[in-house]
């Protein structure tokens, strides 16, 4: 700034106002020179921007000339009138210029503020410039750098540390010097935790239920997704993603996606927040009875199979259960997977519903005609049919009448005369049977083979009395005797004691003389038709023959070729009387 010059037309001998003006001018010059004398080199002073060029910024510091600062020292280009702090380097160089430095002023101010922030435990700004061993290099400004340990760089473990390089951050200064040297260590994590606590506290205190919030999908679990609400998490449960069936959370939201959600629950004590996506649409159950009624036949998609049935979605948000017992009229379904798979489109009937519980009971078989309702007409009692054996058990055999409908042939209904288990039946074998009873309600059909022929026991008492002669073949041999099968298939026991004629003979030895298939004549020894049991006797048959021979002999009717002599007959008679 040039000093004010005395005008040539002014006279030093002028009086009046001119003289007063000279006094004021002199006083101002003295005050100005005095102020200049107070400035010291190295002093921090304030200046104002008076001009900005492409390369320099001119600063008025109140001295006789302006200071010049390279424009590179400014992070942002200043405007005319802006205040700038500078250090007075020299009042005047050899060219009469004032030399000032903004960089040195910035450094001095920076350190002043840094020490104050360290003392007051206040955060300072910085920028992460690069990754170094064990952490990061942070530029705090004014050419000052600090070390940020990786453990103090974030509130969570940094999976990709390079992601924070270039970020502008706020940190606490934990250390300025070490061993008398500048060694600055900063902490970002502590600042973030305090900031999060403040934001979280504000959220819980000032956020009402129903508030719309925006967050970012952070991570997934089997039961939903965690949403970052700005440093603290809320849970979007799988059941709150849609009114419909949700199997995988990833089908509804994507990691990193910014999403608008509604706050539906806040637990201030446990610090839990529940969010919802589905509450932006109406609950479909509200309108259920307007669209669906019991006995309606509807279409749906199979969403899930369990051991006890299938879940079927009628529309988004309305899902019903078809129990395994409602799958088929005919088949006894063991596993739902045998008939359905997820994604199948099916027709079903609404059997019932509970609006409060949000449940619908569905039936698959009800959309088909129940074949059991016409079974009694189709297979009348007494009808004869030829069908295939599908399964043989100890109690009998299952016979397939048609697909899904079996009848049972009990072992007791296989033969009037023989007792056994399955009489050699095998799966796949075709046999003729008779329908002997039907119970459609309990789905029970009884079949029989023996009913195809007359019961030989029916008139047995009329045709066979004790002592009546019979003829047959040995069907089987046991330790206690043998079974003789006579015409008609009836089998009777000849006890081994009834094989011998007198006590001297050994019954066991007598039993050894016979084999299966031998032809024998005997007489009826004992009959119990109600129990379908008969016993025969070989000994009594022999006695009967002997009595008849003696009778014929006594009446002179014996033939010449008779094998009995009189002595033999008398011996036999005596033997009989002894018995």
Between CA 6 and CA 119 the distance in angstroms is 55
The number of beta carbons lying within 10 Å of the beta carbon of residue 533 is: 14
Q: Report how far apart, in Å, the C-alpha atoms of 337 and of each of 190, 327, 404 are.
A: 56, 11, 18
**Which pLDDT belongs to residue 18?**
47
Q: Which helix or strand (DSSP H or E) is residue 273 part of?
A: strand 272-276
Query: Would you place residue 565 in the very low, low, confident or very high pLDDT band (cuts 50, 70, 90)?
Result: very low
**Which pLDDT belongs to residue 30?**
52
To the nearest 10 degrees (0 to 180), the angle between helices 538-554 and 566-578 is 130
Per-residue pLDDT of 110-152, as tens digits, reads 888 899 999 999 999 999 999 999 999 999 988 899 999 999 9
> How many angstroms separate the first and last alpha carbons of the chain?
170
- Does residue 465 contact residue 504 with C-beta atoms inside 8 Å? no
Q: Residue 256: name the closest of 220, 306, 297 by CA.
A: 220
> Among all chains, which residue has been given the structure tokens 């009873």?
437
Judged against a pLDDT cut of 50, whether residue 430 lies above it is answered with yes
Laid out side by side, the sheet with 83-90 consists of: 67-70, 56-60, 44-52, 83-90, 99-101
Q: What is the mean pLDDT of residues 394-415?
A: 88
Q: What is the mean pLDDT of residues 238-250?
A: 84
CA angle 256-260-266, nearest 5°?
105
- Does residue 102 contact residue 133 with C-beta atoms inside 8 Å? no
Q: Residue 160: name the closest of 150, 170, 169 by CA.
A: 150
Judged against a pLDDT cut of 90, whether residue 561 lies above it is answered with no
The number of beta carbons lying within 10 Å of the beta carbon of residue 125 is: 12
Between CA 240 and CA 250 the distance in angstroms is 13
Query: The dihedral of CA 275, 277, 278, 281: what is its sign?
Result: positive
Q: Report the chain's C-alpha Rg in angstroms.
A: 58
**Which pLDDT belongs to residue 261?**
93
Q: Residue 351: name the closest of 301, 308, 306, 292 by CA.
A: 292
**Which pLDDT belongs to residue 353?**
93
**Which pLDDT belongs to residue 544?**
85
Residues 6+ apart with CB under 8 A from 304: 245, 247, 310, 311, 342
- Does residue 472 contact residue 520 with C-beta atoms inside 8 Å? yes
Q: Residue 394: name the closest of 428, 423, 434 by CA.
A: 423
- Does residue 196 contact residue 202 with C-beta atoms inside 8 Å? no
| β-bridge pairing 233-237 and 272-276 | parallel
Between CA 282 and CA 288 the distance in angstroms is 12
Per-residue pLDDT of 457-508, as tens digits, reads 776 766 778 888 989 999 889 999 999 988 877 888 999 888 887 777 888 8
**Which pLDDT belongs to residue 4?**
35
Judged against a pLDDT cut of 80, whether residue 38 lies above it is answered with no
Q: Residue 159: name the closest of 227, 228, 219 by CA.
A: 219
Q: Residue 58: name the closest of 42, 87, 41, 81 by CA.
A: 81
pTM of the model: 0.43
Judged against a pLDDT cut of 80, whether residue 222 lies above it is answered with yes
Per-residue pLDDT of 307-346, as tens digits, reads 999 999 998 889 999 999 999 887 888 899 989 999 999 9
Q: Most confidently modeled of 95-99, 147-151, 240-244, 414-418? A: 147-151
Judged against a pLDDT cut of 50, whether residue 240 lies above it is answered with yes
Query: Would you place residue 529 in the very low, low, confident or very high pLDDT band (cuts 50, 70, 90)?
Result: confident
Question: Which residue intervals of 464-579 are DSSP H helices?
Answer: 507-511, 538-554, 566-578
């Amino acid at each position: 700034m040039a000093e004010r010059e005395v005008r040539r037309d002014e006279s030093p001998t002028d009086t009046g106002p001119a003289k007063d003006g000279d006094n004021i001018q002199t006083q101002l010059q003295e005050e100005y020179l005095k102020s200049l004398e107070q400035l010291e080199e190295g002093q921090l002073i304030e200046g104002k921007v008076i001009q900005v060029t492409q390369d320099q910024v001119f600063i008025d510091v109140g001295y006789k000339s302006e200071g010049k600062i390279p424009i590179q020292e400014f992070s942002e280009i200043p405007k005319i009138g802006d205040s700038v702090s500078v250090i007075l380097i020299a009042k005047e160089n050899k060219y009469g210029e004032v030399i000032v430095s903004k960089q040195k002023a910035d450094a001095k101010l920076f350190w002043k503020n840094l020490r104050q922030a360290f003392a007051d435990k206040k955060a300072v700004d910085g920028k992460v410039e690069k990754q170094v061993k064990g952490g990061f290099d942070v530029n705090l400004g004014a050419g000052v750098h600090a070390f940020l340990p990786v453990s103090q760089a974030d509130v969570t473990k940094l999976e990709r540390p390079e992601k924070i390089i270039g970020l502008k951050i706020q940190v606490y200064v934990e250390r300025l010097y070490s061993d008398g040297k500048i060694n600055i260590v900063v902490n970002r994590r502590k600042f973030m935790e305090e900031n999060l606590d403040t934001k979280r506290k504000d959220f819980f205190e000032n956020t009402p239920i129903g508030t719309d919030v925006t967050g970012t999908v952070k991570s997934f679990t089997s039961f939903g997704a965690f949403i970052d609400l700005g440093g603290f998490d809320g849970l979007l449960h799988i059941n709150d993603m849609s009114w419909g069936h949700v199997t995988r959370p990833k089908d509804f939201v994507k990691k990193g996606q910014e999403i608008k959600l509604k706050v539906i629950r806040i637990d201030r004590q446990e610090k839990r927040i529940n969010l919802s996506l589905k509450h932006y649409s109406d609950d479909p159950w509200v309108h259920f009875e307007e669209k669906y009624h019991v006995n309606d036949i509807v279409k749906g998609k199979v969403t899930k199979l369990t051991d006890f049935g299938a879940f079927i979605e009628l529309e988004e948000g309305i899902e019903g259960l078809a129990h395994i017992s409602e799958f088929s009229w005919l088949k006894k379904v063991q596993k739902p997977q045998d008939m359905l798979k997820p994604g199948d489109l099916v027709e079903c009937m609404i059997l019932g519903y509970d609006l409060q519980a949000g449940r619908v009971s569905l039936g698959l078989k009800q959309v088909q005609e129940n074949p059991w309702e016409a079974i009694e007409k189709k297979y009348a009692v007494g009808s004869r049919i030829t069908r295939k054996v599908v399964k043989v058990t100890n109690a009998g055999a299952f016979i397939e009448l048609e697909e899904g409908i079996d009848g049972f042939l009990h072992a007791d209904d296989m033969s009037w005369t023989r007792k056994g288990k399955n009489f050699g039946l095998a799966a796949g074998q075709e046999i003729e049977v008779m329908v002997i009873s039907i119970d459609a309600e309990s789905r029970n059909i009884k079949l029989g083979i023996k009913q195809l022929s007359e019961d030989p026991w029916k008139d047995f008492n009329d045709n066979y009395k004790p002592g009546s002669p019979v003829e047959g073949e040995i069907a089987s041999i046991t330790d206690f005797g043998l079974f003789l099968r006579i015409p008609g298939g009836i089998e009777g026991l000849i006890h081994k004691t009834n094989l011998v004629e007198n006590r001297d003979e050994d019954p066991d030895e007598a039993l050894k003389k016979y084999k299966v298939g031998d032809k024998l004549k005997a007489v009826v020894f004992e009959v119990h038709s109600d129990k379908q049991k008969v016993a025969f006797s070989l000994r009594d048959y022999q006695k009967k023959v002997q009595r008849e021979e003696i009778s014929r002999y006594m009446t002179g009717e014996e033939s010449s070729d008779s094998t009995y002599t009189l002595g033999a007959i008398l011996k036999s008679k005596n033997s009989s009387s002894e018995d």
